Structure 1
Amino acid sequence: MALSQEVKTMSELSDDWGVPQDWWVMPDKQWEGGVDPTSTRAQDPYFWWFMQSGPLSMLDAKAWPQRIYFSAERNLSCPSEQVADICKNFHLSIPKAYDGRRYMTFYMDVQALRESLWANWSPPVGQSDEIAQSGFEGSVAEKVFSLQYAECFHRLAMGIPVRDLVPTEPPPDTSHANDVNTAPSVPKGTAPDVVLGLIDDGLPYLHAALRNSSGTGSRMLWIWDQRWSAPSSHTTFAGASSFGYGAVSVSTEIDNSIGKLLRQTSTEASEYAQHGFTDMRRRNSHGAAVLQLLAGDSSVCGPSAPMRWPTKQTSALPVIGVQIPFRQSSRRSLAGWLAVHVIDGMNFIAEQAKSLSATHLYVNLSLGAYGGPHDGSAIVDGAIDELVAKSAPTQVQPIAATGNTAGTRRNPSNWSGPRLPSGVHARGTWKKDRPLIFTLRVPPDKAEDTFLEIWFDQELPLRAPIKVSLEGPDGRVIEQKSFFSRSRSNSISPSSAPNETRIEQHGILFFRKVSQSRSEVKEGTKWRSMVLIALAPTRRPENGRRCVPPGDWTVTLAFDGSIKSIEGIVETVQDYRVDAWVERDDTWVGSRRGQQARLINAHGEQAAVTDENTFTSLAHGNSVMCAGAIDGTTREASPYSAEHRAGWIPSYSAVADRSPLRRGVLVGGTHSGTMRFASGTSMAAPQVVRSLANIALNASAWAEELPAPGVPDAKKGLELP
Structure 2
Amino acid sequence: MSWKSWAGGGAWSGLNWTGRPADSACADPYLAWADTTAFAHLGGERTWVRVILELEAHWPVDGALPLTAQTFAESLEKENVAWKDWIRVSTVYRFPPHDLEASRFLTAIVARKFFTEIDGAMKGVVKRFELGMPIAPDDAAQSLAPGPQAPVPGTAPVFGPAAQPGAASTDASDQPHAVFMGVMDDGLAFAHERFRCIADNPSTRIEYFWNQDDAAAGALDEHYGRELDRDKINGLLDRCVRKGLLDEDAVYRLNGYVGARKRWAHGTEVMDLACGVRPNKIEAAALTLKGERTGTVQPPRILCVQFKTAGRTIRDTSGLWFAVHALDAIRYLLRRADDLAKGAEHSVVLNLSYGYMAGPHDGSSIIESAMDELIGLHRDLSIVVPAGNSNLLRCHATLPVDSGTLRRITWRVLPDCATPGFLEIWLPKDADTSSVTVQITPPWGDRSPVFPVKNLYTWQPGRNVLCTAVYLERVATGDRNMILIALAPTTMNQPRRDPAPAGNWTVTLTNGSGDDLEIHAWVQRNETAYGYPLRGRQSRFEDPAYKQFVFGAHVRDFDEGNQLTWIKRSGTLSSIATGEHTVVVGGYRRTDGRAATYSSTGPSLRQTKRSGPDAAAVSEDSVACAGVLGASTRSGCLVALSGTSAAAPQVARLLARQKIIAYANGLQPNVFTPQLSARAWVAHEADSLDPVPDAPVPHLLGPCFGTLNPPPVPIPQHAYVPRPPEIRTGSGRLPSPRWKKRGIKL
Q: Distance in 1 between matches of 2:516 and 2:82?
A: 43
Aligned to 2:706: none
Instruction: Select which of 574, 593, 596 maps to 1:635.
Output: 593
1:76–1:674 distance in 2 versus 1, CA, 3 Å = same
Contact persistence 2:619–2:628 (CA under 8 A): yes
Q: CA deviation at 1:72?
A: 1.3
Contact persistence 2:7–2:16 (CA under 8 A): no
* SS of equivalent to 1:437: strand
Aligned to 1:50: 34
Deviation per residue, 1:204-244 (Å, 9 max, x gap):
100011114866211111111112x42279xxxxxx99951
Instruction: Select which of 471, 490, 505 maps to 1:510.
Output: 471
Deviation per residue, 1:185-212 (Å, 9 max, x gap):
xx98655521111110000100011114
Aligned to 2:91: 96
- AA aligned to 1:253 is K
- AA aligned to 2:133 is I
Q: Distance in 2 between matches of 1:514 and 1:492?
A: 22
Q: CA deviation at 1:70?
A: 0.8
Aligned to 1:331: 315
- AA aligned to 1:64 is E
Q: Distance in 1 between matches of 2:492 and 2:152?
A: 46
- AA aligned to 2:45 is W
Q: Distance in 2 between matches of 1:655 and 1:174?
A: 38
Q: Distance in 1 between matches of 2:298 and 2:689?
A: 29
Deviation per residue, 1:569-590 (Å, 9 max, x gap):
xxx5212211101111244431
* SS of equivalent to 1:279: coil
Task: Map residues 158-177 of structure 1 onto 2, 5 A cutoff.
Answer: 158-164=131-137
Aligned to 2:439: 469
Contact persistence 1:298–1:304 (CA under 8 A): no
Residue 442 (structure 1) aligned with residue 413 (structure 2): yes
Instruction: Select which of 298, 303, 313 maps to 2:278.
Output: 298
Q: CA deviation at 1:644?
A: 1.0
Q: CA deviation at 1:547?
A: 1.5
Task: Map residues 183-202 of structure 1 onto 2, 5 A cutoff.
Answer: 190=175, 193-202=178-187
- AA aligned to 1:495 is G
- AA aligned to 2:52 is S
Q: CA deviation at 1:96?
A: 3.2
Q: Distance in 2 between matches of 1:400 and 1:317?
A: 18
Task: Map residues 485-496 of structure 1 onto 2, 5 A cutoff.
Answer: 493-496=460-463
Residue 108 (structure 1) aligned with residue 103 (structure 2): no
Residue 716 (structure 1) aligned with residue 705 (structure 2): no
1:24–1:54 distance in 2 versus 1, CA, 3 Å = same
* SS of equivalent to 2:210: strand
Q: CA deviation at 1:618?
A: 1.8
Q: CA deviation at 1:147?
A: 8.0
Q: CA deviation at 1:697?
A: 1.7
- AA aligned to 1:299 is P
Residue 591 (structure 1) aligned with residue 543 (structure 2): no
- AA aligned to 2:655 is L
Aligned to 2:489: 537
Aligned to 1:674: 637
Contact persistence 2:24–2:119 (CA under 8 A): no
The alignment covers a number of residue pairs equal to 611
Residue 616 (structure 1) aligned with residue 574 (structure 2): yes
Contact persistence 2:154–2:228 (CA under 8 A): no
* SS of equivalent to 2:372: helix
Aligned to 1:221: 207
Contact persistence 2:357–2:573 (CA under 8 A): yes
Q: CA deviation at 1:659?
A: 1.4
1:586–1:274 distance in 2 versus 1, CA, 3 Å = farther
Structure having the larger proportion of residues in helix: 1
Deviation per residue, 1:523-570 (Å, 9 max, x gap):
xxxxx111000100001143733210101111111246xxxxxxxxxx
Residue 405 (structure 1) aligned with residue 390 (structure 2): yes
Contact persistence 1:43–1:148 (CA under 8 A): no
Contact persistence 1:216–1:259 (CA under 8 A): yes
1:242–1:448 distance in 2 versus 1, CA, 3 Å = closer
- AA aligned to 1:250 is D
Aligned to 1:154: 127
Deviation per residue, 1:272-303 (Å, 9 max, x gap):
12212123221001001101111111234833
Normalising by structure 2, we get a TM-score of 0.73
Contact persistence 2:627–2:641 (CA under 8 A): yes
Contact persistence 1:66–1:161 (CA under 8 A): no
* SS of equivalent to 2:336: helix
Q: Distance in 2 between matches of 1:86 and 1:375?
A: 37
Contact persistence 1:631–1:658 (CA under 8 A): yes
Q: Distance in 2 between matches of 1:44 and 1:149?
A: 17
Q: Distance in 1 between matches of 2:590 and 2:378?
A: 36
Q: Distance in 1 between matches of 2:154 and 2:503?
A: 58
Q: Distance in 2 between matches of 1:663 and 1:75?
A: 47
Instruction: Select which of 343, 358, 375 maps to 2:327.
Output: 343
Normalising by structure 1, we get a TM-score of 0.76
Q: CA deviation at 1:675?
A: 1.3
Task: Map residues 245-644 of structure 1 onto 2, 5 A cutoff.
Answer: 245-264=224-243, 267-300=247-280, 302-305=282-285, 307-312=287-292, 316-328=299-311, 331-357=315-341, 359-392=346-379, 395-407=380-392, 422-461=393-432, 464-474=434-444, 476-484=446-454, 493-496=460-463, 502=464, 504-518=465-479, 528-542=480-494, 544-559=496-511, 573-593=514-534, 594-602=536-544, 608-644=566-602
Residue 655 (structure 1) aligned with residue 618 (structure 2): yes
1:86–1:592 distance in 2 versus 1, CA, 3 Å = same
Q: CA deviation at 1:331?
A: 2.4
Q: CA deviation at 1:40?
A: 5.1
Q: Distance in 2 between matches of 1:86 and 1:461?
A: 42
Contact persistence 1:33–1:510 (CA under 8 A): no
Aligned to 2:743: none
Q: Distance in 2 between matches of 1:688 and 1:470?
A: 44
* SS of equivalent to 1:154: strand
* SS of equivalent to 2:260: helix
Q: CA deviation at 1:153?
A: 0.5
Q: Distance in 1 between matches of 2:281 and 2:116?
A: 54
Contact persistence 1:628–1:684 (CA under 8 A): yes
Q: Distance in 1 between matches of 2:193 and 2:627?
A: 22
- AA aligned to 1:230 is A
Q: CA deviation at 1:603?
A: 8.2
Aligned to 1:499: none
Contact persistence 2:135–2:310 (CA under 8 A): no
**Stretches of structure 1 lacking an aligned partner (at least 5 in a row):** 1-21, 114-139, 234-239, 408-421, 497-501, 519-527, 561-571
1:175–1:106 distance in 2 versus 1, CA, 3 Å = closer
Higher relative contact order (CA 8 A, sep 6+): 1
Q: CA deviation at 1:402?
A: 0.6
Contact persistence 2:455–2:472 (CA under 8 A): no
Question: Bigger shift: 664-673 or 196-205?
Answer: 664-673
Q: CA deviation at 1:26?
A: 6.9
Contact persistence 1:327–1:588 (CA under 8 A): no
Q: Distance in 2 between matches of 1:328 and 1:423?
A: 29
Q: Distance in 2 between matches of 1:530 and 1:177?
A: 37
Aligned to 2:54: 73
Q: CA deviation at 1:142?
A: 7.3
Q: CA deviation at 1:429?
A: 1.6
1:352–1:452 distance in 2 versus 1, CA, 3 Å = same
Deviation per residue, 1:359-401 (Å, 9 max, x gap):
2111111111111111111111111122122222xx1100001
1:87–1:600 distance in 2 versus 1, CA, 3 Å = farther
* SS of equivalent to 1:399: strand
Calculate the aligned-residue CA RMSD, in Å. Answer: 4.0
